[in-house]
Structure 1
Amino acid sequence: MEDEIIQCKKSLRKKMLEIRRSLSEDIKASESKTIYQNIINSDYYRNSNLIMAYVSLKDEVQTLSLMKTVINDGKKLCIPFVCDRSGIMIAAYIEDLSDLVIGEFGILAPDSNKLRIVDPKKIELILLPGVAFDYAGHRLGMGLGFYDRFLSKAISAKLVALAFSCQVVSDVPSEAHDYVMDYIVTKDCITDCRAGKI
């Protein structure tokens, strides 16, 4: 059964990555802008002082404006930092986007020589990327398990997924170790995964 779920995940991941990567720049920019507005106007954003966000890849919901706003609003911002290829991920504070450098994986990350590590238990809000989501809050990531391992320590955080409309599907296969999102934010709505659309 477990092998079957893993194969279903691989198949869905391949399909959804193709769809996400085929989106035009205009669609990605437009949807990202509306998602940004939905987040900064939400109660869970207003009520959080320590926020973890991801540095977006070019085919993900864009987070540059969001990270700037977190800093400008006087909140504390932390960013994922992958320690090595064994799958260990930590969170590190940044005070300005200029603190980010090109990391080991070719994407912007906190400078490994200046890391200020965050206690995951103190993070109040985590904004997550993903490949696919369903309205029950199941998330399909890239399959490396970085977030699942990290989230086991972030016991107080609200988990909020950022998704293009095309990334929300009827059902995402899940396993016992997979974390369920509290909210999914698209351009069309904010879904409270425990209670339905709001």
Structure 2
Amino acid sequence: MNRPLPDRGTSRPATAQAPDTIAAEKSGLRAIVRQRLAALAPSHRESQSQRIQSRLAASPDWQRAQLILGFASLPDEPSLLPFLLDQAKAGQPIALPRWDPTLNEYRPARLVPGAELTPGPFKVWEPPADAPAASFEQLDLVLVPGLAFDRSGRRLGRGKGYFDRLLARTPCARRWGVAFDVQIVDRVPAAPHDLNVHLLVTAGLWWPVIPAD
């Protein structure tokens, strides 16, 4: 049986900050990182995405994972979907988030080779309604998108909280943050409830995080 990973997965800011202050800092950092991403040439996006894919595929932890939750990338995120489809065809167990309108949340669904994906309510590709569901407990590796990460594993999302709620349901899974190099910053503002990643993966970085003090 999988056991919850150590509590280093929870953010622990060095000093307490008011929620309004943290929210303002997050908003400012989102604007900065979005500018960086907008300046990233398409050729650099493609080359960095390919390097990230190669890093993932070569990892022994990836190869022996029982079920990996990936994500279908937004335009300003590293491209993963073609790679994940190829991995599923090769026999690697892969799931993607699928929107559950009755629960108003994302839940994992298996990526079935040959099955057509469908655009979800937020225009993100996801498995069709008839794709087999997966339980959160089955996941042992989760690829985590974000606007920014720091080397302590703190993550800055897009402010909606959808992926945060999904991560909160996967305490036994290793969480790997996947990003372009320009998305790694000195410090991500975080609240005590924000969940960290355990590893950062970029084109130039394979970084097991050091827990924040």
TM-score where L is the length of structure 1: 0.91
- Structure 2 counterpart of 1:20, from 37, 59, 74: 37
Query: How do 1:174-189 residues align onto structure 2 when only pairs under 5 Å count?
Result: 174-189=190-205
One-letter amino acid of the counterpart of residue 139, structure 1: R
| Contact 1:48-1:125 at 8 Å conserved across structures | yes
- Single out whichever of 128-137 and 103-112 deviates more from structure 2: 103-112
User: What number of residue pairs does the alignment pair up?
Assistant: 194
Tell me which residue corresponds to 1:29: 46
* Alignment partner of 1:75 is 2:63: no
Distance 2:57 2:175 in 1: 15
CA distance in 1, matches of 2:152, 2:28: 20
Aligned CA-pair RMSD: 1.8
Q: Residue in 2 aligned with 1:155?
A: 171
Contact kept, 8 Å, 2:112 with 2:131, in 1: the verdict is no
Give runs of aligned pairs for residues 44-193 of structure 1, distance below 5 A.
44-84=61-101, 88-96=105-113, 98-112=115-129, 114-193=130-209
Identical residues among aligned pairs (%): 26
2:85–2:111 contact (8 Å) kept in structure 1? no
Unaligned 5+ residue runs, structure 2?
1-17
Report if aligned partners of 2:106, 2:166 keep a CA contact under 8 Å in 1.
Answer: yes
Higher mean alpha-carbon deviation, 95-104 vs 28-37, is at 95-104
TM-score, structure 2 normalization: 0.85
Instruction: Give the secondary structure class of the aligned counterpart of 2:82.
Output: helix
- Give per-residue Cα distances to partners, 1:7-49, cap 9 Å, x unaligned: 1001111221222133111000000111111111112202202
Q: Which ranges of structure 1 fall in alignment gaps of 5 or more residues?
A: none
Instruction: Report the Cα distance in structure 2 between the residues aligned to 1:163 and 1:85, rounded to whole angstroms.
Output: 31
Q: Which protein, 1 or 2, shows the higher relative CO under an 8 Å CA cutoff with sep ≥ 6?
A: 2
